[in-house]
Amino acid sequence: MVEGIAGAPDDFELLCRFFCLPGTREEVEPIARYMFSTYITVPVYTEFYRWLGWGEKIQPMLDAWDARDRQKAAAEAPWEAIEQMFIFGSPAEMKERLEAFVAGGITVPILTMVCPPEQLAGMIDDLAR
């Protein structure tokens, strides 16, 4: 992503949305796959992911979606792409991954917490800089 904005002004801010799901991959994978497959099938995000170079890898998911097979679409969602949008693990692991994205050039990480309401305040505290 950062390469795509080469030549931007020094004060350019690169925003990136991350969905934060507390838990192990096994715990969060079903919801992450479902969310990804519904999110990326929105035309503007489909084109954005194609621009990022994911076109071939997301095509089977898009084909399943077009065939109205939502379960297959979720199953076809490429995990490598999901990992770029979904942050999961323990709070310390999540924070470490987010910091790696910041170190890589994301200047404004936008966090969307995906958790029960009673866990929200704790997640915000845990992931705060």
Length of the chain: 129
pLDDT (0 to 100) of residue 1: 63
Which pLDDT belongs to residue 8? 78
Distance separating alpha carbons of residues 36 and 120, to the nearest angstrom? 21
At residue 81, the pLDDT reads 94
Within 10 angstroms of residue 57's Cβ, the number of other Cβ atoms is: 15
**Residue that the structure tokens 């991954």 belong to:** 97
Residue 11: pLDDT over 80: yes
Q: Which pTM value belongs to this model? A: 0.85
Contact present, 20 and 32 (Cβ < 8 Å): no
Domain boundaries of the chain, sorted by first residue: 13-127
Instruction: Report whether pLDDT(117) > 80.
Output: yes
CB count, 10 Å around CB of 9? 7
- Structure confidence by residue, pLDDT tens digits, 47-89: 999 998 999 999 999 999 999 999 999 999 999 999 989 999 9
- Of the two residues 85 and 9, the one the predictor is more confident about is 85
